[in-house]
Structure 1
Amino acid sequence: SRRAAKQLSKELFPATARMSRPRLGTEETVRRIDAAAVRAFFDAHIRPSTATAVIVGDLTDIDLDALLAET
């Protein structure tokens, strides 16, 4: 179904439109991402005060508040 969705987007939207490209990027665009780009995105868009942390796993004997305060 992914292949069909990609083909449908190509058919419905011109090649210059964002919707004609894969939502998560192409192999080429993902390879061009470097640490500086990730940091720049984080600095521009991520706000810890409004973030939600999802924690799963065995947390027995772990001080979760302390662990989260470190990050």
Structure 2
Amino acid sequence: MSTKLEDLDILVIGSCNTDLISYCKRLPKVGETVHGSKFTVGFGGKGGNQCMAAAKLGASTALVAK
């Protein structure tokens, strides 16, 4: 997909990363290990989150990240 810069409402230049999320029933105490019941992989980063939020509000967006 090719998008011209002139067609964008917002161009975000920022960070983008992969989140590794483990779910557990409670937070561990100091020095304690708590085993999780579910594990997922998601996407995040300040730039990625801002770009997605603007797109969900209807803006034409693009993200430049490394």
Task: Tell me the TM-score normalized by structure 2.
Answer: 0.24
Point out which structure has higher relative CO (alpha carbons under 8 A, 6+ apart): 2
Larger Rg: 1
Structure (1 or 2) with the greater helix fraction: 1
Task: Tell me the TM-score normalized by structure 1.
Answer: 0.23
